[in-house]
Structure 1
Amino acid sequence: MRVHVEEFQVKTRAQEEIVVITSQVEQAVERSGVKNGIVLVYAPHATAIITANENEPRLREDVLGKIRTLFPRGAGYKHDEIDDNANAHLANIFLGFHIVMPVVGGKIRRGTWQEVMLIEMDGPRTRHIVVVVLGE
């Protein structure tokens, strides 16, 4: 079994935003030489989310709006007493900081409209993304 690890950075520009990182992940998979296996996309951060979905502008607005509704900023969280970002931590815990996708024929097997996305919840920041490709 082959194991290939790469890291890259994403500079976010807003406190909350969605950044598509599909091409960076696909390039890492291609460089791995793995034809069939899995890819793990991981954000080693406690206030960012990794997911896959359609990259449509109104849907991105809907996603951020729903996250804001579910985890409103300044809602009296105890953690806000020391660091005003408890909502971002909660979103990370409940929505996830990594995804695993299949690699088939040397490419990520994703749905027609699926894009790999970083959701920034406490920016702007420089985020590190770790890509681990496992397989043969």
Structure 2
Amino acid sequence: MLKRISVKTNQRDEMQDITSEVRSALKEDSFRNGIVIVYSAHTTAGITINENADPDVKHDMLMRLDEVYPWEHPKYRHGEGNSASHLKTSTVGASQTIIVEDGNMILGTWQGIYFCEFDGPRNRTVYIKTLEG
């Protein structure tokens, strides 16, 4: 199965929990066992897995990424002015792979799947691909 989901972001930098959307895609496809790949086909937005119980984790991650990769830097050369978003995306990564067993993603108690926007607000697309095994 290959499924696309739309993500509408509201800020330049934000993390949206898309775990339930991925679960829904697996359920719709009756996918039971294998792996699911969650992929962002954008150079300025990524996918990560992290804690989804405490919203301060998202805040702290975005704050620290902004400290490491400030929006403006005198040595950035990219003409669009969004070099920081490219650096953040490369650091976070474009995809995550999750094991699926008996129709359930194997995630830790506090883990969730996040779409990470670094150049919003925008309308984005996330791809969900299942592989049986």
CA distance in 1, matches of 2:44, 2:107: 25
Q: Show the counterpart of 1:129.
A: 126
Q: Which residues in structure 2 correspond to 1:34-113 (within 5 Å)?
A: 34-55=31-52, 56-76=54-74, 77-79=76-78, 82-113=79-110
**Gaps spanning 5+ residues in structure 1: where?**
none
CA distance in 2, matches of 1:11, 1:60: 17
CA distance in 2, matches of 1:95, 1:17: 13
CA distance in 2, matches of 1:57, 1:33: 31
Please state whether the residue corresponding to 2:84 is helix, strand or coil: helix
Q: Show the counterpart of 1:13.
A: 10
Amino acid aligned to 1:117: Y
TM normalised by structure 2 equals 0.94
Identity, in percent, stands at: 35
Q: Which residues in structure 2 correspond to 1:23-34 (within 5 Å)?
A: 23-34=20-31
Amino acid aligned to 2:77: K
How far off its partner does 1:33 sit? 2.2
How far off its partner does 1:57 sit? 1.4
How far off its partner does 1:10 sit? 0.6
TM normalised by structure 1 equals 0.92
Amino acid aligned to 2:16: V
1:120 aligns with 2:121: no
